Amino acid sequence: MPSHVVRVQKALKLWARRPTRLLLEGEHKSYFAGRSLDFDDLREYVAGDDVKDIDWMGTARSGKVLVRRYRALRHHNVVFVVDCGRNMAALSGGGERKADLAIDLVGALGLIAQRQGDNLGLVAGDSRHYSYLPLRATPAHLEQMLQFIDGHTSLESAPSDLYAQLMFVARTIRRRLFLVVVADELALDSAHELLLRRLAAQHELLWVTVTDADPTAAGWADHRVVEVRDLSHLPPFLRDDPQLRREFAAAAAARRAHSDTVLKRLGVRHERVDSEGDVLPALGRLLARPRGGARPSPAPGAPPQAGEAHHA
């Protein structure tokens, strides 16, 4: 079986114009009680500090008793929540299989995080079942995660149920996570918003949307288009109707605007990807934004590939 990790590693070299070390650069630091070898700065002595931490040269220069302050090194627990429902077997806005883009996203961020020693986990599935691959930090585990996404996403999969997977995380995983959601263009309702508010308060939450193909685009004119929700055929006379095209475009824009509004209100960092070339730039934008800045507020197409096209 071909290695997805090897494929993503090769793709990273092609995508990146700048070194991929710019993503998740360096160790992840946070203050903890106690000492380590990672010196940070000096502060004034307070009762209870270890006298061994007194910096005598700094004390002599300032005239105040100063102690060295240290940072402890900590690694992230990164859990990916990935939709493996039938919708992800459809094609993206760039004409690529959505599941392949999900694999690219998880693989790219997983490789970068794993290089820092981070633990990786996966919650993935559809409306019939979902699975949890617990946190581990081995290359074999990342490969297992990518193989799981690939092997469980097809037109024979059940419909998507991302809500159930997110609820599993909320009910089961108590430790703080770097939580990365990869899904298609989901219509976020009030139940989703309440659940995401809970998750965003507990975890560092990132969201990546894999876009839908537009079945009314001119590039699909000579292709058989199938609605993956029920595998029904969308005849050309419907896709070519100007009024239906306008209504479809308006509905898609409204759904995107609503999702953007909900995620922004909750302080969730969000990006969309259309194709393989969007993966690394999208991850770079997500990780470059300040972490923990915005908090939840109070509640109130490319030319297709040859063959059959599956639209979500």
| Confidence band of 305 (pLDDT split at 50, 70, 90) | very low
What are the angstrom distances between the C-alpha of 123 and each of 39, 143, 181, 261?
37, 15, 9, 25
Parallel, antiparallel, or unpaired: how do β-strands 77-83 and 178-183 relate? parallel
**C-alpha to C-alpha distance for 124 and 81, rounded to whole angstroms:** 6
74, 62 contact by CB (below 8 A)? no
- Average pLDDT, integer, range 5-29: 58
User: CA 247 to CA 236: how far, in whole Å?
Assistant: 16
Q: Would you place residue 9 in the very low, low, confident or very high pLDDT band (cuts 50, 70, 90)?
A: confident
Q: What span, in angstroms and rounded, lies between the C-alpha atoms of 233 and 239?
A: 11
Domain map (residue ranges) of the chain: 4-25+75-311, 29-74
pLDDT-derived band of residue 243, with 50, 70 and 90 as boundaries? confident
Q: Report pLDDT for 227.
A: 62
Cβ neighbours of residue 227 under 8 Å, at least 6 residues apart?
233, 234, 311
Specify the CATH architecture of the domain 4-25+75-311: 3-Layer(aba) Sandwich (3.40)
Q: Is the pLDDT of residue 278 over 70?
A: yes
Q: Are 92 and 101 in contact (CB under 8 A)?
A: yes
187-201, 216-230, 278-292, range with the lowest pLDDT: 216-230
pLDDT score for 69: 75
pLDDT > 90 in the chain, percent: 44
pTM equals 0.74
Within 13 Å and on the Cβ side, how many CA atoms surround 112?
21
